Chain A
């Protein structure tokens, strides 16, 4: 059998659609995961004791079960609990929940990295807990945890093929479908690898740019701007 790229070019429209679904569920899952993770981390640090215990269990359950099984449970088991979701929203939510526990642990490390004295000073000046988080802790810790966050974002990108198992029409499902019909597996697998490579590479680039920006804020260079002005 000959290596024939026409298998791909003939199906460019379908492949592009699949790529967009991958991009959408991935970025949506990342956004949801970051938001949930931050919430979980904040509540774990400052919430009431009973809530912290619940969140600890939540983290442990998600962390110690395979993503595939979680997706199955959400998509096929959900209706039994009255949660009926279409494939794409189910995939996005599943990815977000899965990512949230890892993001939460990264955020928790970040919060703990700020010297408590800085928080006491803020407290004595009358800043509320939310103001302390937003103004003192987040700007400083984001610089520190940025590499870990970017890393987790790329891991989530490479988890999106799992969504094909619950019929999300994303890149892997589309391309493996083409492969089964045409038996042109080499071409299809090459396209798959290149697709994910492009996404992860783009993420790394963005991450590096953000890190450079962040280091300018906190580095030793005298030419510095306040983070505060950017956030405000």
Chain B
């Protein structure tokens, strides 16, 4: 139990998916203008990454490892994830309209495909089982949500600042991310 908690804290905060692994940068920069939308995006990412980690891990343990096909991981994972994101959207639209209305607009934007695939690959690389993989996926996505919500909060304030012209737009956001990354590096002593 203790190890699982450490893995979760490690993925959520210490090795933050955006700020130290650079995965999911596109939505991090694109959907972080307002706290509300950033939080919506965060919840959608948690939803998708948790399901994706579970499914890719089940496939890996039940099929790929059992039949000695681990070399097919990259191909299988990317196709499963691509299909899954689309399927989740269709399923939500038909059977969970309230949830779809809240998160639907973010699902096609789950440009986090690189984060989703990154988490799945991390899970197999560290040899996590199905349960730990799912928790690790959830924790990683929570880390993404923490980062994007903080970023959105800062950006709402940056709006009113006087920024040199070449730095307006994504440049100042990247400088801010760099400063956040320094702050998050401080957590490396936690585990």
- Say if A and B assemble together: no
Which residues of chain B have a CB within 8 Å of any CB of chain A? none
